[in-house]
Chain A
Amino acid sequence: MIELQGLHKAFGANRVLRGVDLTVPRGESMVIIGGSGTGKSVLLKCILGLVKPDAGQILIEGQDVTRVDREAFLARFGMLFQGGALFDSLSVWQNVAFRLLRGPGKRPKAEAREIAIEKLRRVGLKAQVADLFPAELSGGMQKRVGLARAIAAEPEIIFFDEPTTGLDPIMAGVINELIREIVVEMGATAMTITHDMSSVRAIADDVAMLHDGVIQWTGPVADMDAAPDPYLQQFIHGRADGPIEAVR
């Protein structure tokens, strides 16, 4: 379970997070929606410790993340980055097996490669891709490799940062389906940030909308369409008019 309590973060005068409270139950898939620049990425980075919050608490399974052993803490996470964030200097399989090739959970090279190929197959890529370099892959394939890397060490918690950005609608649908399948089959707790409503409907158990630095609305995805919140309704229907000011 992930619990965020009163999370604040400002960059200079720009107060991005202004008291975020959110609970993600174990094994659930939470999707956080919100416009560009509303602090969705900052929120994920705070949980991962890449950005230090100014105030508030982050608890994972009841433990304060600032007080636990960082290595062990990060070993439970997998993350799919927006642009894939694959290491250009390493081949595809070495990217996928990165965690398996070094550190405390280190495996023999042959075994790590085998696991990497199996994970690549799981995300719909053939074994021949394993020895290519990230620059030789299309955007959709890079996303799949990023997904394979995120799940390679069987994490308990997986984060997805804008998983469908930059993909064509069909490829976006494929990635959404893959994410859903993998999260369900691994029983992992998932947190996704996106502004793509098709992703929300495909991936989410629960939805939270971040606006003005706070969680504006949260609830099960089935309740989203009927919810009376005007901010949420404007966002999910993509209306230019409404309480959220759009810059024209």
Chain B
Amino acid sequence: MILAPVAAIGRSTLGGLAALGRIALFLGATLAAAVRPPFYWREVLNAFWVIGYNSLPVVGLTAFFTGGALALQIYEGGSRFNAGQVVPSIVAIGMTRELGPVLGALMVAARVASSIAAEIGTMKVTEQIDALVTLSTDPMRYLTVPRVLAATIAVPVLVAVGDSIGIFGGYVVGTGRLDLNAAAYLKNTADYLELWDITSGLIKGAVFGFIIALIGCYFGMNSARGAQGVGRATKSAVVTASVLILAANYLLTELFFSA
């Protein structure tokens, strides 16, 4: 009786580790499928369109409001004495290093990991995956590899766009609401921002994109039967992708910026 909660913790820990192991095996299978022909380039282009282009509005809006809120926070946070310098530089560095990639990826995870898991999960339960096999087409190469490849390329592009819009959001709030000098704002942004701030964020974006599509495909391919099975796969994909993005973000930040 008293041990029941402990047992529950143990069970969920073991379950979590087993799932992580299965995801690792799925990752191996994806990489193995990615290096062997045939390559379905048309599917890559389709996935690039769906994952990348269609995510632009949500990523852009997120970045704009985040940049604006960041400018307000920094200004209000006791830095008024030289706000003209501090606001632009922290907005730029904060957006490119952290908030652009992380918030952008979380929004894409909500949009894309869910839709990939639901689409592939539905294909699984309606025997479309089996049909692919009988038509001599490897589902890993036809469904998983194009989505993973497209997301790995598309998310950094989205992050770059998000960075720019986020900095613009900070600029709009900084010059419009906080009365900072427009020319000085732009000069300070350019002066303090280093190339590595941007590229590190883009590398994070690529890793996050890879995670989003891989997890979406994994839960889709392993979806249980029925509407409930697909629903659960979709939910698990979003939750797992989001947690893995945050964990990977910490590891990458440690790797890139700790001396």
Contact = CB atoms under 8 A, between A and B. Distances in A.
Interface of A: 45, 48-50, 71, 74-75, 77-79, 81-83, 85-88, 98-99, 102-103, 149
Contacts, number: 46
Interface string B161-175: 000000000000000
A82 B40 contact: no
B137 interface: yes
Contacts of A74: 133-136
Given A85-B127, A87-B128, A79 B134 contact: yes
B131 interface: yes
Contacts of A99: 135-136
A82 B136 contact: no
Contacts of A103: 38, 136-137
Closest 7 CB pairs of A and B: A85-B131, A85-B127, A79-B134, A74-B136, A81-B127, A85-B128, A99-B135
A99 B134 CA distance: 10
Contacts of B136: 71, 74-75, 99, 103
B73 interface: no
Interface string B112-137: 00000000000100111011011111
Contact of B130 (A71, A78, A85, A149): A85
B137 A79 contact: no
Given A81-B131, A85-B131, A87-B131, A102 B137 contact: yes
A168 B123 CA distance: 25
Contacts of B130: 45, 48, 50, 81, 85
Nearest to B46: A89
Contact of A83 (B127, B134, B137): B127
A230 B38 CA distance: 52
A48 B136 CA distance: 11
8 contacts: A48-B133, A74-B133, A83-B127, A85-B128, A87-B131, A98-B137, A99-B136, A102-B38
Contacts of B135: 74, 98-99, 149
Q: What interface size band does chain B fall in?
A: 10 to 19
Nearest to A81: B127
B38 A83 contact: no
Given A102-B38, A103-B38, A85 B126 contact: yes
A227 B217 CA distance: 50
Contacts of B134: 48, 50, 74, 77-79
A215 B247 CA distance: 54
Contacts of B126: 83, 85
Nearest to B127: A85
A79 B38 contact: no
In this complex, which of B40, B123, B136 has the most chain A Cβ atoms within 10 angstroms of its Cβ?
Answer: B136
Nearest to B142: A102
A49 B40 CA distance: 23
Interface string B44-58: 000000000000000
Contacts of A79: 131, 134
A45 B129 CA distance: 13
A50 B137 contact: no
Interface string B10-39: 000000000000000000000000000010
A10 B88 CA distance: 65
A120 B130 CA distance: 22
A48 B127 CA distance: 13
A165 to B, nearest CB: 13
A83 B124 CA distance: 12
Contacts of A50: 130, 133-134
B230 to A, nearest CB: 14
A45 B126 CA distance: 15
Contacts of B133: 48-50, 74
Of listed A49, A74, A78, residue having the most chain B CB within 10 A: A74
A86 B40 CA distance: 19
Contacts of B128: 85-88
Given A45-B130, A87-B123, 4 more contacts: A71-B136, A75-B136, A82-B127, A85-B130
A223 to B, nearest CB: 32
Contacts of B131: 79, 81, 85-87
A190 B8 CA distance: 51
Contacts of A49: 133
A75 B259 CA distance: 57
A119 to B, nearest CB: 14
A149 B136 CA distance: 13
